[in-house]
Amino acid sequence: MAKTQILEITKSRAVKIFEDIGFQTANKWDSIRLQKKLMNLESLVEGTKLSAKGKKRVDEILQARSDGKEVVVTTAEEKVADAKAGKAVQDALKRETERKVNRKKKSKKEKEKVDVEENKSESKSGGKMSKSKKTAKKKIEKSTKSKSKTAAAKSKKEDAKDIKLDKFGSRVGTIQAKINSALTKKPKTMGQLLEISGVKNQQNGHLKNLINAGFVKKTEKGYTLL
């Protein structure tokens, strides 16, 4: 039995085809909906006036279907988006680690500087630290702690800007965030959530976490927002 030939097109290319036809909201469709629409492309494009580029894109699909090929919308772009989101988190964590190391080094240097000043003072005064020197030491230590707290607060604000989270605490652009966006007050089964979000694998663990966090409830009809 001959193996079915496949023509793979990216999601962005599929969206462009339907925008050419006149579907201005095509950029909001997931890969599954685009796939279904492509199966009816002949009837959708009938009577539509297309630009030269638009006609070329449509003709490519129609010719492939005429040749017996299966047209498949790939999800490679979505995987790239998830990978980029993961890399952004890793980069943010790396920067935070570097900041902590630098703060510790700076704090250590300032402490060493205080100890050197104390030793000099004690040598001159026969080993006894004057009241004014003790006051100076406390001021330096207080200043060092204040600078460390300020640097830590600034670091947290910078990291918050780097990582965008949805209202459930998931990173925007990840599979979990896509499942979150498909949840509504109307109950939906796992299959419906996967179809709407364009996610392939079941996310039972993620939904269980949302239930435990008080965001979602599971009923006989499916998952629903509280």
Q: What percent of the chain clears pLDDT 70, i.e. is strictly above it?
A: 76
pLDDT in the model for residue 80: 56
User: Is residue 69 predicted with pLDDT exceeding 70?
Assistant: yes
User: Is residue 11 predicted with pLDDT exceeding 90?
Assistant: yes
User: Is residue 165 predicted with pLDDT exceeding 90?
Assistant: no
Rounded CA separation 177/180 (Å): 5
Q: What percent of the chain clears pLDDT 90, i.e. is strictly above it?
A: 15
pLDDT in the model for residue 189: 92
Please answer whether residues 218 and 226 qualify as being in contact, where contact means their C-beta atoms are separated by less than 8 angstroms.
no
Put residue 157 in one of left, alpha, beta given phi > 0 → left and psi -120 to 50 → alpha.
alpha
pLDDT in the model for residue 48: 85
pLDDT in the model for residue 28: 92
User: Is residue 162 predicted with pLDDT exceeding 60?
Assistant: yes
Model-level pTM? Answer: 0.34
Please answer whether residues 124 and 132 qualify as being in contact, where contact means their C-beta atoms are separated by less than 8 angstroms.
no
Rounded CA separation 64/48 (Å): 20
Assigned token pair, 191: 């299959």
pLDDT in the model for residue 178: 92
Report the pLDDT averaged over residues 31-48. 88
Least confident of 42-51, 126-135, 171-180: 126-135
Q: What is the pLDDT of residues 17-38, one digit of tens each?
A: 999 889 999 999 999 999 898 8
**Domain locations along the chain:** 6-74, 78-162, 175-225
The residue among 203 and 149 whose pLDDT is bigger is 203
The class of domain 175-225 in CATH terms is mainly alpha
